[in-house]
Amino acid sequence: MSKSLNNIIATIYFLLIFLMIGNGIAAQQIISRDTITSFAVIYNGDTIEAKELATVFFYSRGHHYEAQRTAAWTRLRNAIYVTYPYAKRAGAVLNDINAKLNAVNNEEQRKRYIKSREAELRKEFTDPLTNLSIYQGKVLMKLINRETGNNCFNIIKEYKGGFTARFYQTVAFFFSSNLKQPYDPSGEDAETEKIVQEVKRMYGI
């Protein structure tokens, strides 16, 4: 075999070896780039890939009844925030009047005393109370009952007489209200009582 042919064969071998080495390095680089790190857990001796799934949120369409109930509660809460300070003040005055009248036996003196305190109540409450809505007025009567332990019908009857009380009861009827309505903090008025306690905590009343 000639020397030139040997050189050609040696060159070919060299090129083949170079190509093989180069392809091996490229393959290693490709493999290393394709490697993905993943979390795994061991369960009963087996290694299992662990993945964290994306959070899925579910929303339900609000029921019409719930919307009505929320609106009614918000209306009641707003009315109590407006009227409770008046009920608290009126209750204090009425309780004071009752305490004073217990010590007065003379009918004429009782009438004069009631008239003087009535003027005080009118002066203090006429303007703000005339701005209340009918619904707020109903809530106020409930709260006065709460503060005095007596319904508005009996309060009016005590101070102004039975005829006057019946007259105001008739007026209240036409406004879909009732001066004789009771206050039941553990039953019908449970939500009202919760809101009153909220008002007391907020304002320190």
Q: How many residues does the chain have?
A: 205
Q: Are 119 and 159 in contact (CB under 8 A)?
A: no
pLDDT at site 51: 78
The C-alpha R_g of the chain, in whole angstroms, comes to 43
Q: Which of 12-26, 58-72, 121-135, 143-157 has the lowest mean pLDDT?
A: 12-26
Q: Residue 12 — very low, low, confident or very high, per pLDDT cuts 50/70/90?
A: low
Q: Is 134 exposed, middle or buried (0-12, 13-18, 19+ CB in 10 A)?
A: exposed
How much is the pTM? 0.60
Angstrom CA distances, 79 to 8, 43, 62, 163, stand at 105, 61, 25, 30
pLDDT at site 190: 94
Across 7-11, 40-44, 71-75, 174-178, which has the greatest mean pLDDT?
71-75
Which secondary-structure segment (H or E) carries 48?
Answer: strand 46-50
**Distance in angstroms (rounded) separating the CA atoms of residues 157 and 159:** 6
**Distance in angstroms (rounded) separating the CA atoms of residues 154 and 180:** 8
pLDDT at site 19: 47
Residue with tokens 């903090």: 185
Question: For 96-107, what is each residue's pLDDT tens digit?
Answer: 888 888 888 888
Structural domain boundaries of the chain? Answer: 70-203
Q: How far apart are the first and last CA of the chain?
A: 118
pLDDT at site 185: 92
Whole-number mean pLDDT of the chain? 76
Strands 46-50 and 39-43: antiparallel
Structure tokens at 53: 């799934």
Question: For 111-170, what is each residue's pLDDT tens digit?
Answer: 888 888 877 777 887 787 788 888 888 888 888 889 888 777 777 777 677 656 665 565
Q: What is the mean pLDDT of residues 86-111?
A: 84
**Distance in angstroms (rounded) separating the CA atoms of residues 200 and 193:** 10
Structure tokens at 190: 């449970």
pLDDT above 70 (res 24): no
pLDDT at site 194: 95
Angle at which helices 134-148 and 190-203 cross, to 10°: 80
With a CB cutoff of 8 Å and minimum separation 6, the contacts of 205 are: 84, 85, 88, 199
Residue with tokens 């809505």: 133
